[in-house]
Structure 1
């Protein structure tokens, strides 16, 4: 079922949102300062291409240890991310979610867009794991 969901997701909008994440990552990678955000964009962009069967979790919850992305610097990075790019990606996912919620078949896709919109607000310190 995950494979079918991922195929339909990729064809009907997942490609565009994943490409949006990768575009944000490419823009962030242009400068040295933007490299932490670029890495997060590429990881979450890969998740946005094929989200079924995976979930985003905090690295701190996964490893039980603080690192540079889950501590105070991660919080500062997420605030900067939110102001510069996060809310744009979140709006894109929410608009896509509303379009998906119009039909019964689109509800699972809309739920995935809402999850990705929440991740778009604060991606630093997150990692993607299989369910």
Structure 2
């Protein structure tokens, strides 16, 4: 009985430590540029939503803003149907490739140091979403 209580406490302590690391990672991310990039994505989304044709693109920009603000503790699930695939192909040709390239470059630069590796991994996650945003859903862990 006592051993199961100890293991339960350790399991909960591990979850607390993981949550603490997510919070610290997100705070550092926001301070080191995440807030500025999220605001930029939000402004781009607002600009795109001015026209009816731009609304679907604006929604994807808001999706990127949400992930860019606090990427630690979030996961992206890709899905969608034929319509999402067709729009994603158009997105990749017009803007997705250069946005993904920027995130890949930032991720590579972050991974040069051991301390930057978690931030690089988040940049790679955003690169994939910047390349293929339609049909993707963002979930908190």
Structure 2 segments unaligned to the other structure (5+ residues): 1-20
The reply on whether 1:93 has 2:113 as its aligned counterpart is no
Equivalence for 1:73: 83
The reply on whether 1:31 has 2:51 as its aligned counterpart is yes
Equivalence for 1:54: 74
Equivalence for 1:17: 37
Q: Which one has the bigger helix percentage?
A: 2
Quote the Cα distance in structure 1 between the aligned partners of 2:32 and 2:26.
Answer: 10
Once superposed, what is the RMSD of the aligned Cα atoms? 1.6
How many residues are aligned here?
A: 121
Structure 1 segments unaligned to the other structure (5+ residues): 61-69
Instruction: Give per-residue Cα distances to partners, 1:58-112, cap 9 Å, x unaligned.
Output: 3x5xxxxxxxxx1221111111111121122212211211221121100000010
Question: In terms of mean alpha carbon deviation, does 22-31 or 71-80 score higher?
Answer: 22-31
Instruction: Quickly say closer, same or farther: Cα 1:23–1:96, change in 2 above 3 A.
Output: farther
Quote the Cα distance in structure 1 between the aligned partners of 2:105 and 2:43.
Answer: 18
Quote the Cα distance in structure 2 between the aligned partners of 1:85 and 1:24.
Answer: 12
* Structure 1 moving runs of 4+ over 3 Å: none
Quote the Cα distance in structure 1 between the aligned partners of 2:23 and 2:104.
Answer: 23
Larger of the two Rg values belongs to structure: 2
Instruction: Quickly say closer, same or farther: Cα 1:92–1:15, change in 2 above 3 A.
Output: farther
The reply on whether 1:2 has 2:12 as its aligned counterpart is no
Q: Where do 1:105-116 residues align within 5 Å? A: 105-116=115-126
